[in-house]
Amino acid sequence: MKIPFKISAVQIKLILISFLVLAGQLVFAQQSKRLTQNWEYLKGDLGSVWEAMRPAKPGSSETVPLWSKVFLPHCFNEIDAVDPKVNYYQGAGWYRTTLKLDNPYQKGRILLHFEGAGQKTEVYIYTTKVGSHVGGYDEFTIDITEAVETFKKDKLFKSRFKGEIPIAIRCDNSRDLEMIPSDLSDFNLYGGIYRYLNLVYTPEVSVDKLFALAEVDSRGKSGQLKITGRFYNPNAIKTANVNVLVKDPQGETVFTGKNNISLSDSNQELWTAKLNKPALWSPDQPQLYTVELTVNADGQEYKHTEKVGFRHFEFVQKGPFMLNGKRLLLRGTHRHEDHAGVAAAMTEEMIKTEIKMMKDMGVNFIRLGHYQQSRIVLEECDRLGILVWEEIPWCRGGLGGEVYKAQARRMLTNMIEQHYNHPSIIIWGLGNENDWPGDFTHFDKEQIRAFMKELHELSHKLDITRKTAIRRCDFCKDIVDVYSPSIWAGWYRGIYQEYKEVSKKEMEEVNHFLHVEWGGDSHARRNSEEPEKIVNRLKIGAGADERAGDATFYGGEARFSKDGDWSESYICNLIDWHLKEQETMPWLTGAAYWPFKDFSTPVRPENPVPYMNQKGVVERDFTKKEAYYVFQSYWTKEPMLHISGHNWPVRWGEKGEEKVVKAYSNCDEAELFFNGKSMGVKKRNSQNFPAAGLRWNVVFNEGKNTIKVIAKKGKTVLTDEITQYYQTAKWGKPAKLILEKIADENGIATLEVKLFDANNAQCLEAANYVSFELAGDGKLIDNQGTSTGSNYLQMYNGRAIIRVIKNNGKSVVSARSEGVPTVFINL
């Protein structure tokens, strides 16, 4: 097998409380520190770095423009990405700080290691530029050693900066057609130092890359670990003593090696170790080995650690996916690096929470859309047992010139080299929706095919052990190893009942089929008594592939994405159908729902929550939608139970009309108690749609109704209970709003506005837009991109919620909707 060749928060608003670039991964030595505190930030550009460094007396002209204090990671667009009143900021931003530097290694190196910054980055020591990087998602390291030593000789080092080193960093996410990804992409191209920045001290010789290729046969009997290194040696030390220690998942040493080597600039093969019947890595048992490399050179020691896993995978031609000799149905989702209140600047805790929520939902596969993601994501996937498709951000727009292509090659190389050792990764993605033109006056399919072939060959040159893949570019589907067409049955085209037929047809057209991106949008807390009432307007049998214009609200044939109600009720049915069908498709490799979490996007300003893609099964702040539990009921083993309707306080219909009550559960049976009376026991059968047969027809009482379900699986008994009100009064034209405080806790008031007609009947299907404003001491918790954290959004069933930080003062909050009088509440 081949080894890669050298080619070349805001202070995170916890709202409820207050010249050498080494393109690549640097796994930390003993001396490493995250630089999170004591940073200042300026939104906008400067005339030059001097404006960030010049002395400024209080009140002088030199104090402007004004800087603000921030913590790292930090994103320019933490708030404006989902502000309905503005376009999100795209331009330059500056960061500055001073650092006390004291390298413990004589003649050692001082490095700044960026885990990701967008989209272009320049680094300065005082006024000296020491490095730059283009690309918002791959890691890079800048050696500041010489610049630091030079500045220490300047009298300002002691007189003005008191023995600290001034650092300035310029990030820029300005629009640039000769850069990937395209600004036509369905996600924000964020700016800022939005992943961790680390200060690293190394000795004269350190490890730039350690490639640990762990291989095992399909039966798991014979394993091999091939260890190759690339060393960072700017002082040209001639030789080094290199030791390796390999430990199994229980911490027992299974291999040791010692080697005296002559150092070179290229990859150096160090050891090949044979292991008999290695412990295998899988989603159920993600067993990891530890590789520890120690380098001794010129009297100094450097240690480097990697985690690896032994697994054997195969995509059967026109058949399923095999892991370690057994079929594994890939049960997947997608992830964007985006979160309420911080945008791309997610903390380690946030990332770990998100990946754990995925695992708890039953996910065993993630496609990381549409760019290389934080190292923390991959480490968690390795640890928890989640297989990964990771891709470069060649997304939409067409194909640019040589600068554009060079960036794509570089980002593919960096992604593969930086994440090479992760056993979770099985696919390197080369692009997404590359059939989408718009950035250039020309769109040449043959040129795109030629470049796709080049990237495919480069990927295999760097890593022959993994597959290449793309999604939605039919004229390139013969180039890559694995292909996903665009199938959106029941959303952008057709009905969800066409899913299996369309998928089988697409599978037969390629060697290795994997369906990524399916689902639909749901406005959290919106529910429907008739979620599929437009079905008789749809064109059936015309395919389920997404076509140009389908994602808009304008033109074309009737479709759920344009004409549907965007309710959670409908999306639960769509997901339920897909999951039941996937259990009866023996040839299916797997499928990945799009996406796990709602995320911001500049190309959807007219959505119910403006500038949000609302297809997630959780909201942008991790609040679970109903769909989360549908997935759990199919994909998890730990007994679970969830009555559909936790976020549906009022149902409606005729007096005496039967309504369906559903429960999502993986238990063997469930019994409904409706208003205290048993409505019978239902047995779970995944092929009994909907809700796998766990549904009951009942007649609601006017007013309050109690719903309790008891589910059993073996000796495990689970109970879930909700209350729903039932309205028989029909509503007319909206006439008035009522704004009330429904909760007040820890200095935060929760307000709810409802829409009524002239006869005081709540308009339960109303989707009118409503806006909130505040005057006074408090602050709206808004611009979060959520159903309860937006100052302008569509109502869900004639209501909307907003929260207010009271700040121990007085405020007036207004709610306004076109065509009805504005209402106010005093806090």
Residues labelled as active-site residues: 433
> How many other C-beta atoms are found inside a 10 Å radius of the C-beta of residue 201?
20
Residue 161 CA: distances (Å) to CA of 97, 126, 154, 789 = 11, 10, 10, 43
Sign of the CA dihedral running 501, 437, 90, 19? positive
- CA-nearest of 327, 328, 281, 334 to 484 is 334
Residue 588 CA: distances (Å) to CA of 326, 387, 505, 513 = 14, 16, 12, 8
Task: List 148's β-bridge partners, or say none.
Answer: none
- CA-nearest of 789, 818, 527, 509 to 644 is 527
SS3 of the chain: helix, strand, coil, percent, to 5: 15, 35, 50
Residue 607 CA: distances (Å) to CA of 243, 265, 805 = 57, 52, 26
434: its two tokens: 């590359």
- CA-nearest of 548, 545, 72, 56 to 342 is 72
Burial of 64 (0-12, 13-18, 19+ CB in 10 A): exposed
Cα-Cα-Cα-Cα torsion 581, 586, 588, 590, nearest 10 degrees, comes to: 70
| Paired sense of beta strands 321-323 and 197-202, if any | unpaired
Which helix (H) or strand (E) segment holds residue 134: the answer is strand 128-134
DSSP tag of 91: S
Counts for the chain of helices (H) and strands (E), in that order: 11, 47
CA 778 to chain centre: 32
Say how many residues make up the chain.
827
CA 504 to chain centre: 29
DSSP tag of 217: -
Task: List 113's β-bridge partners, or say none.
Answer: 141, 198
Residue 367 CA: distances (Å) to CA of 314, 326, 425, 478, 590 = 17, 21, 10, 20, 12
CB 431 within 8 A of CB 412: no
CA triple 732-733-739, angle to 5 deg: 100
- CA-nearest of 223, 218, 229, 313 to 268 is 229
Distance CA 627, CA 420 (A): 34
CA 538 to chain centre: 32
CB 574 within 8 A of CB 565: no
CB 280 within 8 A of CB 220: yes
Taking CB atoms within 8 Å and a gap of at least 24, the contacts of 442-445 are 442/398, 443/398, 444/399, 445/475
Distance CA 181, CA 395 (A): 5
CA triple 250-251-252, angle to 5 deg: 95
